[in-house]
Structure 1
Amino acid sequence: MTEGARVPAERKRRRPTSSGVVLSADLIVDTARQLIDAQGAQAFTVRKLGAALGADPSAVYRYFRNTEDLLLALADRLIGESMVGFTRTGDWACDLRDLCLRAYRSALRHPQIAVFSTVRVTGRPHERRAVDTGIGLLLEAGFDEATAVRHYHTLIDTALGHAAVDAGFLRLAPAQRTADEQAWHAAYGDLPAEEFPSVHRVREQLPLMAGSAVEPALDLLIAALRAAR
């Protein structure tokens, strides 16, 4: 089960709803993901989830203690999906970069879920495995225990911080996203050199600000880690 909580055996059994749907923790998590992707986290309710499942909303609580328990299970599911296909190459720095970008890209595939998935600690199986993998890579690189933890914290929070920002951008209306992207040329391109000398000097490069900074940020950090060994 993906939620990672200790659930009594009678709650683990699959139970058909009145409409004939066989409920399971996986089905509930999948359906919750679809609802939040479509409507946003703030609009999500267990009542809506029950309707989408064709079940009484109270049936959800046979599998999850409460809404938070379900959302943490969903966040952990995304971590697990981000790790699918991850393989070590023998280069600890490249593997750390890949690990962090996988977490970032998972959040960007589900920007509505990133509202909570980027800021919560699930404490569940997939997150445990990801944390163990990341810290393990740093230990193998030769960092001591405390330094490995600090560096992992810095790297993963950088990736998730950028994910939260970039997911927020994706949640904007299309017209807002276009306006923000164009502002780097329209609002900054013609600023006078005498008043804004630095901006004027780099005006042709300012559209780069419209893209994500996650990869340059990770590259800077990982280059520093290589040098610190």
Structure 2
Amino acid sequence: MTAPRAKAAPRSRPRRGRPPSTSLNPDLILDTALALVDREGADALTLRRLGSELGVNHTAVLRHFAGKDEILLGLAERLLQKAMDGFAPSKEWRPTLEALARRVRAVCVAHPQVAVLVATRVARREAEFHGADVVIAALRGAGFADRDAARYYRSLVDTALAVSSYEASVVALGSASREGDRRAWRREYLAVSPSRYPDLAAVAPYLAEADEDDQFETTLGLLLDAIALRARAV
């Protein structure tokens, strides 16, 4: 008689909703970190918590990233990738810089917790290099020498990120806090004493009208107007 076949041992399955450790890769780790910070804020991003989200021991993450700081640089790069995705420079320098600044702002507002965490970092990766090349090409196309193009690039990027991350920090507040601050422009500022604060009282109605869009576009316009004046003097 033929001996009965031994039953094959059942395959071990990864925990539902979590990938097996063999599927770990940098993109998956960054996607998970991005989602975690979006959902719970910067304090939630620890190596142990990230490992738990991925269903692995946190040491497995360290096979792909040297530590948390490298993950943060990766998240900075991820935001820039989203901003640069599908971007095509205009033939003119100013529309190019305007469009790119608006894209950076949109990404920061879409991921406010991440933006506040990484906006000041230098990603030193492909998307950042691509963005830098686009901005510097626009400035050189406006007629600036290399030294000035480098200086204005730094000023433009730092200003766009500063304004965008400031707005992101507002978005990251709870809705009650945000609404309280908005009401202040429409209530407390409108109620200031004209005899004590005559100039503030004169413009108070217009302060309430200046929303986030107006603030960003005004700041961007002021900076680009200054660069345009210098370009005409080249």
TM-score by length of 1: 0.88
| Inter-partner Cα distance in structure 2 for 1:142 and 1:46 | 47
What residue number does 2:6 align with? none
Shift of 1:145: 0.7
Shift of 1:26: 0.7
How many residues matched? 213
What residue number does 1:3 align with? none
What residue number does 2:163 align with? 162
Sequence identity, in percent? 35
What residue number does 1:220 align with? 222
What residue number does 1:67 align with? 68
Contact 2:29 2:61 in 1 (8 A): yes
Shift of 1:43: 2.1
> Secondary structure, in 3 states, of the residue corresponding to 2:62?
helix
What residue number does 1:138 align with? 139
| Inter-partner Cα distance in structure 2 for 1:39 and 1:182 | 27
Q: Which runs of 4+ in 1 moved over 3 A?
A: 17-20
Matched AA of 2:218: P
Once the two structures are superposed, residues 57-109 of structure 1 have per-residue CA deviations (whole angstroms, 9 ceiling, x without a partner) of 11101111111111111110110110012112211111011112212221111
| Inter-partner Cα distance in structure 2 for 1:116 and 1:136 | 29
Structure 1, unpaired ranges of 5+: 1-16
> Secondary structure, in 3 states, of the residue corresponding to 2:154?
helix
TM-score by length of 2: 0.86
Contact 1:184 1:210 in 2 (8 A): no
What residue number does 1:49 align with? 50
Shift of 1:203: 2.3
| Inter-partner Cα distance in structure 1 for 2:130 and 2:138 | 12
| Inter-partner Cα distance in structure 2 for 1:55 and 1:63 | 13
| Inter-partner Cα distance in structure 1 for 2:149 and 2:172 | 34
* More moved, 174-183 vs 150-159: 150-159
Q: Which has the larger radius of gyration?
A: 2
> Secondary structure, in 3 states, of the residue corresponding to 1:163?
helix
Shift of 1:210: 4.6
> Secondary structure, in 3 states, of the residue corresponding to 2:127?
helix
Root-mean-square deviation over aligned CA pairs: 1.5
Matched AA of 1:85: G
Matched AA of 2:186: H
Matched AA of 1:73: G
> Secondary structure, in 3 states, of the residue corresponding to 1:187?
coil
| Inter-partner Cα distance in structure 2 for 1:179 and 1:146 | 45
Shift of 1:209: 4.3
Contact 2:92 2:138 in 1 (8 A): no
**What are the residue-to-residue correspondences of 1:4-19 with 2, within 5 Å?**
19=15
Shift of 1:186: 1.0
**What are the residue-to-residue correspondences of 1:95-134 with 2, within 5 Å?**
95-134=96-135
What residue number does 2:80 align with? 79
Structure 2, unpaired ranges of 5+: 1-12
Shift of 1:115: 2.1
What residue number does 2:8 align with? none
| Inter-partner Cα distance in structure 2 for 1:49 and 1:81 | 22
Matched AA of 1:222: L
**What are the residue-to-residue correspondences of 1:164-179 with 2, within 5 Å?**
164-179=165-180
| Inter-partner Cα distance in structure 1 for 2:191 and 2:67 | 54
| Inter-partner Cα distance in structure 1 for 2:67 and 2:209 | 43
| Inter-partner Cα distance in structure 2 for 1:47 and 1:18 | 18
